[in-house]
Amino acid sequence: MAFAKVTAAEFYALLEGRGSARFRRVLARYEFFAPGGDCAVHHGSLSVPGALPASAVNMLVLGDLSADGLLDLGEDGAECGCFIVLGNVACSAFANAYGKCVMIDGNLEADEIIVNSFEDSALMVTGHLRTYFYHGIDIWAEVGGRAEMEYGDGYCLPIGYTAAAAEAIEPRHDRDASLHRLSFGNGESVDPQDFLDRLKNGQPIFRPLM
């Protein structure tokens, strides 16, 4: 799992001309880079058996990324900066982090949950987004393809949206049914850290289906 440290100039150079046309348009819209933060890159696809260590504030994967369990971008207190994947991301659970800009030039598939409700963060997926439960209170994900969410508290928007209220993509089940699908919270809004604590401690986050 070797990430190589690079300079900011090298980081930018690695992005130059890479990725899809949609990714390059999204990249130009955002101030994604954390000035003064260190940078690291992984060349090729990457499979993570457990947690993904924070190798740098700004990280780039030139290939697909998969994780057996929780892919937590706030691991070890890794906040702010950017996390860019030029490929598909697949895991059982995905979590963004406070102040972090995540760009995935491909699909994002998280079998159980996507936790995206972290202040000052952003999540852009040029392909499809698929998950069982999407948690993104006031922090939406922008998606270039389909957004498929069975349950959730939050919504997604298409990349390049112009009317958020009209174009919002909602989970299949409404908010009340979704919150009651959780094994904790008593049907009320849940802090994103509560999801992470339960996932890391091996506690269930959903009620058994009857």
Which candidate, 84, 41, 49, places its Cα nearest to that of 66?
49
Give the model's pLDDT for residue 34: 60
Half-sphere exposure of 78 (CA within 13 A, CB side): 25
Give the model's pLDDT for residue 156: 98
Q: What is the pLDDT of residues 119-165, one digit of tens each?
A: 999 999 999 999 999 999 989 999 999 999 999 999 999 999 999 99
Answering whether pTM is above 0.85, one says yes
Tell me if 206 sits within 8 A of 182, measured CB to CB: yes
pLDDT bucket at 175, cuts 50 / 70 / 90: very high
Q: For the chain, what is the mean pLDDT?
A: 92
